[in-house]
Every structure is written in C-alpha cells, then in structure tokens.
Amino acid sequence: MRIATWNVNSITARLPRMLAWLESSGTDVLCIQETKCSAEQFPYNELRDLGYEAAVNATGRWNGVALLSRVGLSDVVIGLPGGPDYDGAQEPRAVCATCGPLRLWSVYVPNGREIDHDHYAYKLRWFEALGAAVAGDAAQSRPFAVLGDFNVAPTDEDVWDPALFEGATHVTPAERAALAALREAGLSDVVPRPLKYDHPYTYWDYRQLAFPKNKGMRIDLVYGNAPFAKAVSDAYVDREQRKGKGASDHAPVVVDLDV
C-alpha cells in the first residue's frame, strides 16, 4: 500500500499535475495541505473519475487540508478536536479518516510567522491540541499516522543552512519540543535519513533559485505509531514533482507499507 503527503500550494493551480501524478505513482492515499479553496470548490468529480474518495476541511482561499483514498474512507473527523482558534475561528488545518487498514490524519500546522507574533503562540497551542487528539489512536494496535506539513525542521540537518534561521521560526527549541512530545505519545518519524541522497528536503522557496541550489528544509513529515512504522518498506521524497513550470514549492513524501 502506498500513501503520501503533499502540500500542493493551491489544488486549483496544481490539479492537472496532481491528477497525472496520482495515476502514474500508484498512490492509494494522499494527504493534501494548502488546498486554498472552499469545500464546494474542491475537485471531487475529477478525483472520483480516478477512483478516489475525498474528505475535505477547507473554507476558502487560505489553508485547507484533504484526504484522498481509493481504498475506502470512513469515520471522518473534520477539524482538530480541542484545537485553538485564531482571530476568532478554528482554521481548516486537520482532517482524519480510516483508509482501508490505516487511520490517518492530514495536518497543516500553523507557520508561526515570527517568534514574537501571536501566530507563534497559536502554533504551540495547536501542537498541544494535536498531541491530545492523536494519543488514543497512537496507542492502538491499528497502524496510525499523522502526515503533513508540520512547519518544523526536526534537526539542524533538516535545514540547508541552520545559521540563517537563528532567531526564526521552524527551528526553535519550543517547536522541536512539540515534535518530541508527539514522539513521546508513541509516534516516530518513519522517513529515514539519509535516503537516496544526502539531504531529503521537502520544501524549497520559489525565490533565489532555492531548488536548483538545494537550499531547502525538511518540514513535511510522516509520524506513525509502532504498528505503522513496522509496516514501512520504503520511503522517499519525489523531488521530480518540485521541478518544472507550475510546481508547488513542496515535494510529495511517499511511504510504502506492507499491510
């Protein structure tokens, strides 16, 4: 079984590319972030033509997440239970469903913006709510994982130049402690390092030729419980999907499972 996570940075802009990738990659379940559309605008019909059901949490032009599955989709949870509000509303950043033998979350963790910004404190509260929401499933015997754009580089090795991020978000001790708390809840990072190349980054800025120069970050992660991790047979970042005109600034992270 093949699952993946991909911050598409607008499903409308990326739809032809994503549909072609789904057909060619043999992906059974895809977790999407930054749909940047409303649920009504989501391309259900195009995905149904390829055999995918969709669970969507999206409200407009910002944020938005989805789960696409061709192996079944049930017990859907829209939104993060107990999640904090920002500017008076809960942003569409989480969706959960059972897909065949797996229980999965697709998450888009808040960016944080700047350390002294309200969004940074919101990010840390959001992580706390995520940990509470997933603890029960993490302890079960069913394979379970949280996939998505975590907006945190787990270690300095996951940033192309850590010195440039000093005093910035994505690398602070508090954010990394939030990831550590998820691991303590029974989840582990199932994408090994190194992979088929030295730096398996998943995000590269559009500016200043960041991708050709491999000035990237590894912030798109797959955190699974012990039964999930035991079933992993392969994992990789599909860098080809970051190349060429019309690419997202993120690449898909793909995990194969023997289940």
Residue 149 annotated as part of some ligand binding site: yes
Percent of the chain with pLDDT over 90: 95
Domain that residue 118 falls in: 2-257
Mean pLDDT by 10 residues, the chain (259 residues): 98 97 98 97 98 97 96 98 96 98 98 97 98 97 98 94 93 97 95 65 96 96 98 94 96 97
Tell me the CATH number at 215.
Answer: 3.60.10.10
Q: Which of 52, 108, 120, 122 is catalytic?
A: 108
Paired with 68 in beta bridges are 30, 54
Q: Which of 120, 158, 220, 250 is catalytic?
A: 250
Measured CA to CA, the distance from residue 105 to residue 174 in angstroms comes to 22
Q: Is 250 a catalytic residue?
A: yes
pLDDT for residue 192: 72
Q: Residue 109 in contact with residue 122, Cβ under 8 Å?
A: no
pLDDT for residue 56: 98
pLDDT for residue 200: 83
Q: Per residue in 45-63, pLDDT tens?
A: 999 999 999 999 999 889 9
Count how many domains the chain has.
Answer: 1
Any residues with CB less than 8 A from the CB of 180 and at least 6 apart, and which? Answer: none
pLDDT for residue 28: 98
pLDDT for residue 199: 63
Residue 9 annotated as part of some ligand binding site: no
pLDDT for residue 198: 59
Q: Per residue in 134-150, pLDDT tens?
A: 999 999 999 999 999 99
- Report the candidate in 7, 1, 42 with the shortest Cα–Cα distance to residue 221: 7
Residue 214 annotated as part of some ligand binding site: no
- Report the candidate in 45, 92, 86 with the shortest Cα–Cα distance to residue 66: 92
pLDDT for residue 61: 85
Q: Is 223 a catalytic residue?
A: no
Which pTM does this prediction carry? 0.97
- Report the candidate in 117, 115, 150 with the shortest Cα–Cα distance to residue 131: 150
pLDDT for residue 173: 97
Residue 57 annotated as part of some ligand binding site: no
Q: Per residue in 19-29, pLDDT tens?
A: 999 999 999 99
Q: Which of 137, 149, 189, 220 is catalytic?
A: 149
Handedness of CA 229, 232, 238, 239 (dihedral sign): positive
Within 10 angstroms of residue 93's Cβ, the number of other Cβ atoms is: 24
Measured CA to CA, the distance from residue 258 to residue 249 in angstroms comes to 30
